[in-house]
Amino acid sequence: MIRDRRFLDGRDIQDPMARIDDVMGEVADIYRSAVGTVGPAYYGAEQVAAWARAADKPTVLGQVMASGLALLRTVNGRPAALGQVSHGGHIGLLYVHGAFTRQGHGAQLLVQLTDHARRQGAVALTIDASYFSARLAARHGFIVEAEERPDYAGVRFTRWRMRLTL
């Protein structure tokens, strides 16, 4: 059974008493697994380790997840995928747990995030895509605007700033 929880500005849309802080363990689990499972196919060990450390900083992930719309997908009660889009139309997070890759979860969340942004009046979406999310974004109409090489936790990465006109 697939269940998508929707959080708007950190509050569960279905249960206003529930907050994104209540599920940060699941968020960190998805993030850590996605980076550790898929990351090594595209990035070196030092890069993967630096990137995965963000899961150990729930405040950083929590701040992103608490802004705009955040989605948390579970499959048969297990954390499977997450996504987030800001009010300004930037997709800040889109990750799929390693046990659930290649099953369409990332694509389905990307469609939901895009639809939400469109309903909110956004004229475009942006995403800073890694090697493994850039192809998914491109399949959904995102175009590369620039290649970037930011430092993350003291380690340089390659990613692409991509844009989708809505």
For the stretch 114-163, pLDDT in tens is: 999 999 999 999 999 998 899 999 999 999 999 999 888 888 989 999 99
* Structure tokens, 61: 């992930």
Average pLDDT over residues 54-80: 91
Asked whether the predicted pLDDT for residue 59 surpasses 80, the reply is no
- Output the pLDDT for position 16: 85
Helix, strand and coil percent figures for the chain, each rounded to 5: 40, 35, 25
CA 47 to chain centre: 18
**Residue 121 token pair:** 């009046």
Q: Is the pTM of this model over 0.85?
A: yes
Question: Are the C-beta atoms of residues 160 and 142 closer than 8 Å to each other?
Answer: no
Of 127, 77, 68, 126, the residue nearest 97 (C-alpha): 77
Per-residue pLDDT band at 71 (split at 50, 70, 90): very high
User: 45-52 and 24-38 are packed helices; what angle lies between their axes, rounded to 10 degrees?
Assistant: 170
| Mean predicted confidence (pLDDT) in 81-87 | 97
Over residues 9-44, the pLDDT tens digits come to: 999 999 989 999 999 999 999 999 999 999 898 899
φ/ψ of residue 103, rounded to 5? -120, 5
